[in-house]
Structure 1
Amino acid sequence: MESTSTISPDDIYWVNVLGGIMFPSFSEAFGRKRLYIISTGLYSVFCVVVGVSPSLTGIAVGRFFSGFLSAIPTIVVAGSIEDLYNSKDRIWMIFLWAMVANMGMCMGPIISTYIAEHLGWQWVFHVAAIVTGVVCFLLIGIRESRPSLILVREVAKVRSETGIDTLKALNPDHTPDLMTFIRIALFRPIQLFFTEPIIFLVSTISAIAFAMVYLFTEALPPVYQSMGFSNESSTLPFLAICIGLVLGLLTRINDHRKIAYAEEQGIVLEPEHKLIGFSIGAPLLAGGLWWFAWTIPPLVDHVHWIVSAISLVFIGYSLNEFDTVLGGYLADSYLSFSASGFATLALFRSLLSAAFPLFAADMFEGLGANVASSILAGLATLFCVVPPLFTKYGKQIRARSKFARYSLEVYHENSVEKNGL
């Protein structure tokens, strides 16, 4: 059992891919609430299974199902935000969701390292079981958010009270049978990835940026250990990324003011008008990675660790802007299909998040931390051409999309959107 003492932070993401395809579309057709409760409750149970299992088989089973279940809250939340908030409030909610999720991802290596060092690796899963168990209990009190499903239930109630059997609700999410659900809903994320240019680009860019954090879980500690950090303290530079996440508040304040001004002037903002954070974040991500690449050993020695840590602040800011702005762009562009759009993003993100850490150690050891980081910086530099591309041609691309056009019609009939914003 010694081999299990080092738990890979990305192993959950291989099976998260499967759940990421199924659950978002399921939530669109059958509602969000039950999925939240079931997923967090069972996730807690399988964390206990991993923590107490005496065999590698038991651990593998527990990790499989916890990965499968974790796809629900990480993906379906985007659909719930679209259900409950108009575009003005959605900016803040998507930002808070992305910030907290990314902060948890950055704090995870720090917390798990300290827990494993002092209590043993099993307690990493015991703590996760306790936290998600409490969350499951709290989720019992929430209400269903899917507007079309709520309308169906209300109409059914009226039909029962009045005896008018002909009353029916408009339900654009209705699937007449299981095969229709499998054919349309489950394969829709894959269809969107290959047929929708916006979803393809957003999913690819966001997935690569997101996976970089998972790559850093393997790459950062050795870099800072080479600067004299201990095994535990070598994870603390992730706090610099967390600081960058919080700085996104400044961009959201700017977004809020822009929307408030447009509302006062009676101007209807297009999704492309809200890409400022992406336009800022893309060059900052590239610059931050170049900065990091050439302020660390082995090729650059005798540079204080704080210099490279500062670059991580800019990287953290950029990563959260990618998540927030691109997530908001998907939600604004695809509206009632937003959960499927996020499922597409999450599918690719899960694949890369599982793959990147597998080659991170070999990449940084084989090429050296400077060259390896420069490759990431070069890739991020290519992203800088996408914000102006979306700004100039995004509306035209959306106009050609049958999903974007249809979801806009459905949204006006079923959503909480107000004042055309």
Structure 2
Amino acid sequence: MGFWGTSVSQDLPPTQHQPSIQRFLDTYGLEYTPDGQYIRWSNSNKKHPRNWPAARKIYDTGLIIFLDLFATCVSTAGSAAADHARNEFGLNKTLAVFLFVSLSLIGQMSGGIIFPAWSEAFGRKKLYIVSTGLYGIFCLISGMSPSLAGVAIGRFFSGFLSAIPAVVVAGSIEDMYNAKDRVWLIFMWAVVANMGLALGPIMSIYIISGLDWRWVFRISAVVTVIITILLFGIRESRPSLVLEREVAKIRRESGIANLKALNPDHTPDLKTFIRIGLFRPIHLFFTEPIVFLVATMSAVAFALIYLFTEALPPIYMSMGFSTTSSYLPFFAICIGLLFGLLTRIQDHRIILRYQEQGIPLEPEHKLLGFSIGAPILAVGLWWFSWTIPPAVHVHWLVSTAALILIGYAVNEFDSVLAGYLADSYLGYAASGFAAVQLLRSSMSAAFPLFATDMYDALGANVASSILAALATVFCILPPLFSRYGRRIRGLSKFAKHSLQVYQENGVDKHGF
């Protein structure tokens, strides 16, 4: 009996139809499991997502990563929109931020519970297409509705649907790429997503200055409609679902109805889906130490950018920036994200060294960026805290340089820890990442609400120092992960189950 109710028969007698069915298996590049009860992928099968042509993978991953970039931009774009819409609707600042920013993130938190399990059980492609189309509709509702209720509905459901690229992309990357290539793809995804966080406020303030706040969401609707059309060109990447389709073809052609695909994601009814899928992320968060720690650290780093959407503009306006130009320091965060490329190059060298030495690659071998990023985040926040008004008056470039460090560190937290989850939970990475998204969305929803009051009450220097102190505490965790991570994974039933499923369904000859 597998974890979470998945069962794999241990009966050893070969199937009665094996001689007659072998030619079909050879034609489709499939094989029997050692017990002769199920059909699985062979290593050379070109239809397995890991073996797709490079051009196919580039199109699919490039498009879904861009989708996440744009959805993230629209998420943080709500901050500037809130500041301008509150006068129209007669709202105070906190309520406006809640409706335009936090409500979207609450929706994303809700979607993050449902959609990863759905994608693992029923596939990725249809989910991407339907959700992106609906996302465009709800963006249009936000931009066209004359009532506050309509705006709130549009923001909540657009956030709900944005959980798909925010969470499921990690699973899609794991579907198509092995551990060596995932280093780069997870990095690219994290850079793009975090760049969306920083570019969203800039995008929105310039649209608003030229048009008005409603056009932020109207333009978003047009872009997502275009993305929806392009998504029809991607392939289904969930290996178990693609395998089911291949075995179904063999059943039709051979007339043998009792052939079974090795499908650990099979959910025969809604009750099973709810028990296995919807509660899995919550279960992982409270029972898996790795998921709990990764979720906490990643969520704080991610939510920090949402806090800055409220905190940074007033700080730079106090230095003489205009309302529009006060959002430009977010570009410094974007620059910091790109420096992660240096860390990925070093990661690549480490991987090659282990391969040359014949040492199996472990998830803990790719934590370099986290080990560097944790102290740099602390240094960057302390630096920023004491180079801004009201306590310190220096040139704005000094504090902006600190934002480069913060941008680098935030991306390292995101990409390295997401990669660590992908390597630890493999085909069920989306469920592990859903637990991260659950806490990330809730923190990101909360941080902007108290940012203004916190900075007004304590002053920008002390308020930022509190964040710096929290980042300093995080510095003790990278060595703990490096030293005890393998032992913790060894005690995890779900990590063991994920590895078993991977070995039975994967096509990589050298493990992960």
- The reply to whether TM is greater than 0.5 is yes
Q: Which amino acid aligns with 2:420?
A: Y
Query: Out of 143, 151, 156, which is 2:243 matched to?
Result: 151
CA distance in 2, matches of 1:115, 1:129: 14
Say yes or no: does 1:123 pair with 2:215: yes
Task: Tell me if 1:260 matches 2:352.
Answer: yes
Query: Equivalents in 1 of 2:145, 2:115: separation in Å?
Result: 28
1:164 aligns with 2:256: yes
Instruction: Work out which of the residue numbers 450, 464, 472 in structure 2 matches 1:381.
Output: 472
What aligned pairs does 1:9-408 form with structure 2 within 5 A after superposition? Answer: 9-301=101-393, 303-408=394-499
Asked if the contact 1:227–1:305 (Cα under 8 Å) also holds between the matched residues in 2, the reply is: yes
1:3 aligns with 2:89: yes
Q: What is the CA-CA distance between 1:4 and the residue it aligns to?
A: 8.0
Deviation, 1:63, is 1.4
Residue 267 (structure 1) shift: 1.5
Measured against aligned partners, the alpha-carbon deviations of 1:11-68 in whole angstroms (never above 9, x if no partner) come to 3101111100000011000000011001111101111111111111111111121111
Matched residues in 2 for 1:32 and 1:143: separation?
9
The answer to whether the Cα contact below 8 Å between 2:503 and 2:511 also exists between their aligned partners in 1 is no
Q: CA deviation at 1:264?
A: 2.4
The unaligned stretches of length 5 or more in structure 2 are 1-84
Unpaired runs of 5+ residues, structure 1, are none
Once superposed, which parts of structure 1, at least 4 consecutive aligned residues long, lie more than 2 Å away? 3-11, 415-421
In 2, distance between residues paired with 1:272 and 1:353?
A: 28
Aligned CA RMSD, in angstroms, stands at 1.2
User: For 2:507 and 2:156, how far apart are their aligned partners in 1?
Assistant: 37
Amino acid at match of 1:3: F
In 2, the alpha carbon distance for the partners of 1:224 and 1:22 equals 40
> Aligned partners of 1:216, 1:112: CA distance in 2, in Å?
15
Bigger mean CA deviation after superposition, 410-419 or 165-174: 410-419
1:180-227 Cα shifts (integer Å, max 9, x gaps): 111121011000000000000000010011000000000000000000
Q: Which structure exhibits the higher relative contact order, with contacts defined as CA atoms closer than 8 Å and separated by 6 or more residues?
A: 1
How many angstroms does 1:420 deviate by? 2.6
Cα distance in 2 between the residues matched to 1:64 and 1:357: 16
Once the two structures are superposed, residues 280-330 of structure 1 have per-residue CA deviations (whole angstroms, 9 ceiling, x without a partner) of 0000000000000000000112x0000000000000000000000000000
Inter-partner Cα distance in structure 2 for 1:151 and 1:128: 36
Amino acid paired to 2:89: S
Letter in 2 for 1:269: L
Identity %: 67
How far did 1:87 drift?
A: 0.2
Which amino acid counterpart does residue 196 of structure 1 have in structure 2? E
2:414 is paired with a residue of what secondary structure? Answer: helix
Native 8 Å contact 1:83 1:416 kept in 2: no
Q: Could you tell me whether the CA contact under 8 Å between 2:103 and 2:152 is conserved in 1?
A: no
Deviation at 1:75, TM superposition (A): 0.6
Instruction: Give the match's secondary structure for 1:300.
Output: coil
> Aligned AA for 1:99?
V
Q: Which amino acid aligns with 1:261?
A: R
